[in-house]
Chains A and B, each alone.
Chain A
């Protein structure tokens, strides 16, 4: 699911399977995980105009990503590739507890 765009930027996309969409609990988990990486990470609902900082819970909530929508992830920086893979995994596995 990952493709290398241009040397520095890594991207991925994943379907949001969480039953209530991107709500408080998943948004908190997503930002917590994103903050573990040095990389600059952005996300958006597929096709949306604006990329959103994956480390901001306020902006993630404001994204209003619904159940079944596709989330695009883009990262650049030293650990960008791992970061994209980890976030894809978190969303695909429906934000398991302990993640």
Chain B
């Protein structure tokens, strides 16, 4: 046995190499990196070589409006999501497990429900004759139906709905990691609850808010389905514009240039997020 052990020793010491990752690497290189790079090349070669596609995108007001809409919606969605998610995550972090698991169940159900199903529900709920307008009119709060759909209000409501779980779940982790003793110490030293919140709880949860917020912001920037269905044609966002340039206008040069801008912004924010929370913490999020 001892001879066997010595004999096996080198095998034990040998770490796993890169070998196992080769199938994944091949898949990603061939069917992700190559197509994306090829697409981006089209932005500087079609219809003729040069940067004219970018000049058009940055030069014309129509496109500036799309970029503005996109950043505006992403910013508002991120802010609203963070403000709504924080108290919920706070409660979830300290709630009795029996009660908490009900709320978690609802969050997971909403998150796992088909995206189109959820968006369809909001299309029906928010329309002129929809339940929300009816209810508001019945209780006399408004006399005319509010325009809740085919505008940025509709997009924002639908997006906040979709993004909430992505903010709540990581924040629960952050809040659970805070030692309750720090807050007890603050109370003992005479801090009011408001002071304790402002000077201890909020700063300590800031990394979680920043990480979740960046994720929501990045996801919102490139979102296609919900803005397309709830925003209508006059309030286009970037992802929808890219799809339209390719699918309906067959303008590959302009479409891929717009795609490159979206990719660049997304990747820059992703890199920032990695630096902020570290690759491991972020990928442990699921």
Q: Is B a genuine binding partner of A?
A: no
Q: Which residues of A contact B (CB under 8 A)?
A: none
